Amino acid sequence: MLSVITPVFNGVRFMESCILNVIEQLRPGVEHVVVDGGSTDGTVDVIRRYAANHSHIRWISERDRGQSDAMNKGLGMAAGSVVSFLNVDDFYEPGTLSAAIALFERLPDPSLLVGNCNVWDDDGKLLFVSRPFRMSYENLLSGRFMEAFPMNPAAYFYHASLHRKIGLYDLDEHYAMDVEFILKAVQAANVVYLDRTFGNYRYLRGTKTYEQDQNGETQRVVRQVVYRHLKQLPLLRRLKLMLRYEWPRNRCLRRVKVVAARLLTGNGG
């Protein structure tokens, strides 16, 4: 079985379209687990209405400690051996769920299957297509995110058993849980990239991700996660990857010397 997990809080604007997106490509062996964080805007009414007529929808509504907590709750509810997270304002391309199920029939456990992702703005304009065709731990720690990092979870699927190796999502991480997950997953899973578009990500003004990008918080948090992983590596490898990560943003000798000094002291600061 494949479990699509949707964490949501006050997402009435997109809740119906999210549910319908799964229904439109529904096939045997698919369930939709919706984890609501105690919405007050009518989200629960939409979920309840569709769940009453569609047995593949399972849901709860209760207060949680944030998105990571909701994602872990969804994993606990999921019956499928393969899981995917579909945020309420994102959607799959037609035929994606059937393709994923067929592909996992021959993939070793645990595997991480990654496809492409369309990134759209508020006006429905395609900003770019994320193609993470060079996913690897080294490329991620080198800052090569455009070619190594899947832009949105709607574009990847993985065996639920992977969490037995890497643990669940960190309850104290509210901003970069997907970056941390991918960095751990590429070390523990059989990673397969398929040059096919699986997901669609709406990059919307007013959302948490958009606001973090605008004020620089995303870059700061991602940098912290990357440095945390770099510090676990042997010194020479750490130095090489850290310089690659810093060089595009700091093309001067002085900065390189500072980076090297931080490495020697183990301070990613």
pLDDT tens per residue, range 236-255:
898 888 888 876 655 444 44
Spatial separation of the C-alpha atoms in residues 176 and 43, rounded to whole Å: 25
Is residue 267 predicted with pLDDT exceeding 80? no
**Res. 258 pLDDT band, cuts 50 70 90:** low
Length of the chain: 269
Picking from 45-59, 119-133, 235-249, which range would have the lowest pLDDT averaged per residue? 235-249
Is residue 55 predicted with pLDDT exceeding 60? yes
Spatial separation of the C-alpha atoms in residues 96 and 158, rounded to whole Å: 14
How does DSSP classify residue 153? Answer: G
Residue 80, SS3? coil
The percent of residues in the chain predicted with pLDDT above 70, rounded, is 91
Spatial separation of the C-alpha atoms in residues 118 and 131, rounded to whole Å: 9
- In this predicted structure, what is the pLDDT of residue 248? 61
- In this predicted structure, what is the pLDDT of residue 266? 52
Spatial separation of the C-alpha atoms in residues 225 and 209, rounded to whole Å: 16
Spatial separation of the C-alpha atoms in residues 210 and 140, rounded to whole Å: 21
- In this predicted structure, what is the pLDDT of residue 269? 46
Mean pLDDT of 5-19: 98
Domain ranges of the chain: 2-214, 232-269
CA-CA distances (angstroms) from residue 211 to 33, 175, 178, 207, 215?
Answer: 27, 11, 17, 6, 6
Q: What is the per-residue burial (b if ≥16 Cβ within 10 Å, else e) of 25-44?
A: ebeeebbbbbbbbebeeebb
CB 182 within 8 A of CB 113: no
CA-CA distances (angstroms) from residue 18 to 154, 215, 262?
Answer: 11, 28, 45
Q: How many CB atoms lie within 10 A of CB 210?
A: 16
**Res. 47 pLDDT band, cuts 50 70 90:** very high
Global pTM exceeds 0.85: yes
Spatial separation of the C-alpha atoms in residues 103 and 97, rounded to whole Å: 10
Is residue 65 predicted with pLDDT exceeding 70? yes
Is residue 30 predicted with pLDDT exceeding 50? yes
- In this predicted structure, what is the pLDDT of residue 250? 52
CA-CA distances (angstroms) from residue 150 to 91, 118, 130, 154, 235?
Answer: 15, 11, 7, 9, 28
How does DSSP classify residue 58? Answer: E
- In this predicted structure, what is the pLDDT of residue 253? 42
Instruction: Domain 2-214: give its CATH superfamily.
Output: Spore Coat Polysaccharide Biosynthesis Protein SpsA; Chain A (3.90.550.10)
**Res. 131 pLDDT band, cuts 50 70 90:** very high
- In this predicted structure, what is the pLDDT of residue 218? 82
